[in-house]
Amino acid sequence: MVAQAADILKANNLSITDSRKSILELFRQSKGALAHSDIEKKSAANFDRVTIYRTLQTFVDKGIIHTIPTSDNSVLYALCKDECTQGHHHDNHVHFICDNCETTYCLDHVTIPQVQLPEGFLEKQKDVVVSGTCKNCS
């Protein structure tokens, strides 16, 4: 059976509230990543700006969503797929941002290649962001 938004919240020891359910649902229905402003618009006059900030922060802390670095300074959030949702955070996948439609994809099945760092550098996390044209726009 498919996990409901409420189940995911419960699994992460979060109390089940309207805003959390709605925002989590937004992510589940969206193909790509969402910016804070997207959420503000899509959930229209529903929730306070502050609530959205706090909810996103909570989700990031719990490993339900992760942030995606972008070169233009906007913070993007995306649902962690599969195993991630259970609390085990492994967001070592490639992100793709389409220059045309602006959609951000999590390419879960593209593994990040090894990077040979100079001596003395210790790798903890690695983000790969590719931009270009996506499959719908090419």
Partner DNA sequence: AAGCGATTGCAACAAAGTTGCAAATTATTT
Partner DNA sequence: AAATAATTTGCAACTTTGTTGCAATCGCTT
- Whose tokens are 């993007």? That residue is 76
- Radius of gyration over every alpha carbon of the chain, rounded to an integer in angstroms: 16
Q: Which amino acid type is present at position 50?
A: V
Which is closer to DNA, CB of 17 or CB of 100?
17
Q: Dihedral through CA 28, CA 67, CA 19, CA 5, nearest 10?
A: 30
Binding-site partner at residue 50 among a copy of itself, DNA, none, CB < 5 to 8 Å by type: DNA
Binding-site partner at residue 101 among DNA, a copy of itself, none, CB < 5 to 8 Å by type: none
Give contact residues for DNA (rule: CB under 7 A): 14-20, 36-37, 46-51, 53-55, 57-58, 73, 75
Which of the residues 106 through 135 are near a copy of itself (CB under 8 A)?
107, 109-110, 112-135
CA distances 64 to 14, 21, 34, 68, Å, are: 11, 12, 14, 13
39/70 Cα distance (integer angstroms): 18
Pattern 54-83, a copy of itself, x by CB under 8 A: -------------xxxxxxxxx--------
Q: Which residues bind a copy of itself (CB under 8 A)?
A: 67-75, 94, 96, 99, 107, 109-110, 112-136, 138
